[in-house]
Structure 1
Amino acid sequence: MANLMQAVQYSSYGGGASALKHVELPVPKPSKDEVLVKVEAASVNPVDWKIQAGVMRFLLPAKFPCTPGTDIAGEVVGLGPGVTTFAVGDKVSSWLGLKKGGSLAEYAVAPITSTVKRPEGVSARDGASLGVAGSTALQALRDLVGWKFDGSQQTQKNLLITAASGGVGTYAVQLAKLEGAHVTATCGARNVDLIRSLGADEVLDYNTPEGKQLKSPSGKKYDAVFHCAHYQPFSYFKPQLTPDGKVLDLTPSGNLLLSMAAQRLTFAKQKFVTFLTPPNVDALNLLTNFTKEGKLKAVVDSTYPLSRAEDAWARSIDGHATGKIIVTVVGE
């Protein structure tokens, strides 16, 4: 194995895609409870460039120089001290963690606490799509809505998913339907048929009056809103909620924190909740199994080689990607 690797880094806040630099770095060494992975594919998520932009500085301060990215799929080529749950040659998917990063490189160190074996039938592209997007969708629905994904859900819930054609949204639609929810989704006109094909019961073009007002065509009020779009105040959603409905906002910002603080001062049953997903190996295992069983699929917007990682970064910043943006490393 080589001692040096190709990687992508940035050295300060700001600059967007143009600030990404291709560099040569020493191949990292795994520590206790870590494995070294030869990266086959990675994905770019909005949270990655938000960290670079400094938007997430209050929660996730960057350490410079920074090799960004959190989601990888690849092959284990080295074991840290005491690691017995993985072996060299294992195909894996891993979420490196938002604070550590390191996915836009030929090799990455992955914690075993957020790494799972990737079975045959789950491609590197699929495996690299699951970390942030799939886990955010699953854990928010499981931990905040209360769905267990074990077949025990008895009462149908009405769920609204905004920006349903994004990475998180495409997984959220599929996972919600696995739990038997009635799903209303919003997206642009060009993605209406796609979101219907993923199982949504009702799809609203967000540019229409109904889409802007979030009104279900069937008149249903929502038990939960899975908000994947830009920040909106709680008042924007409130008219469409059931008396104890929740808004799960996945776009952390200063405005959101103010809104949450205001909500905590009330005793209303309706709630506005932010959610920043922590790594969870159980969630990643469940998502991998769903993918293997054909119950879940990755929607891929575009694929770029590592040598064009800045184009993938720019595509994500543009905000119009449908599903996931993938960076291939092996065999590019």
Structure 2
Amino acid sequence: MEAPGFSTAARPQEVSAAEGAGLPSSGPSAHQALTQAAGIKLDGTGQLKNILITGASGGVGHYVVQLAKLGNTHVTATCGACNIDIVRSLGADEVLDYKTPDGTALKSSSDWKYDFVIHCASAGIPWSTFEQNLSANGKVIDLTCALQRPTFSKKQLVPMIINLKRENLEYLVELMKEGKLKTVIDSKHHLSKAEYAWARRTDGYANGKIIVEI
């Protein structure tokens, strides 16, 4: 398996080719957002953190949910109504339909403030919506590169620049081998039908990864 930047890791027999193909482009982003930007320890140690993950059923978001639950976290996730069961099965403690009033407002039923928001959703969300839900030292970690740093805010916006490392990819592969991480596969398409894969990618309803096979 090869990630952008030519980081590679061997694929064990326990991991299918399709599962492995989905990992390098998104898994390291999820891993670094949690461990580097948010400081979450994936061995379950550390203080309990309340985390919001937007776009939790997407290509990056579904990895973020699974990895976050390896740490000491309470995870609230947003996604479309049709993907709620999938996101819940990945370990999310609370799942919000982003089209409902609570989902639009990013309000968890626990009414906790978020220590970290891992923003994976492509849909625009006003900074004011994030701000009112953050704890005193809360941060928004932006994996979309779409948010602008609000200079008027006391809160911190963290745009992520992914630094791909082989050891990170190897760690994720080992988690997959152990059954602690999986690639949710939305659909598979032969290379000759790549246009169908792209159409599925852009229709806004895909969950997990779209795989093109040769």
- 8 Å Cα contact 1:132/1:277 also seen in 2: no
- 1:153-185 CA-to-partner distances (Å, cap 9, x unmatched) read 221110001111111111111000001210001
| TM-score for the superposition, normalised by structure 2 | 0.94
Paired residue secondary structure (2:161): coil
Distance 2:132 2:80 in 1: 22
- 1:190-232 CA-to-partner distances (Å, cap 9, x unmatched) read 1111111111101111111111110110111100001111233
Equivalences for residues 1-332 of structure 1 within 5 A = 93-97=1-5, 111=6, 114-149=7-42, 151=43, 153-229=45-121, 230-253=123-146, 256=147, 259-260=148-149, 262-263=150-151, 268=154, 270-329=155-214
- 1:15-61 CA-to-partner distances (Å, cap 9, x unmatched) read xxxxxxxxxxxxxxxxxxxxxxxxxxxxxxxxxxxxxxxxxxxxxxx
- 8 Å Cα contact 1:234/1:272 also seen in 2: no
- 8 Å Cα contact 2:139/2:157 also seen in 1: yes
RMSD: 1.5
Runs of 4+ in 1 over 3 A off after TM superposition: none
Q: How far apart are 1:152 and its partner, in Å?
A: 6.0
What's the % identity of the aligned pairs? 52
Across the two proteins, how many residue pairs are aligned to each other? Answer: 213
The residue identity in structure 1 corresponding to 2:137 is D
Q: How far apart are 1:133 and its partner, in Å?
A: 1.4
Q: How far apart are 1:235 and its partner, in Å?
A: 1.6
The residue identity in structure 1 corresponding to 2:208 is G
Paired residue secondary structure (1:117): coil
Distance 1:236 1:282 in 2: 36
Q: Which has the larger radius of gyration?
A: 1
Distance 2:104 2:44 in 1: 34
Distance 1:282 1:231 in 2: 33
Q: With CA pairs under 8 Å and 6+ residues apart, which has the higher RCO, 1 or 2?
A: 2
- 8 Å Cα contact 1:215/1:240 also seen in 2: yes
User: Is there any run of 5+ residues in structure 1 with no aligned partner, and where?
Assistant: 1-92, 98-110
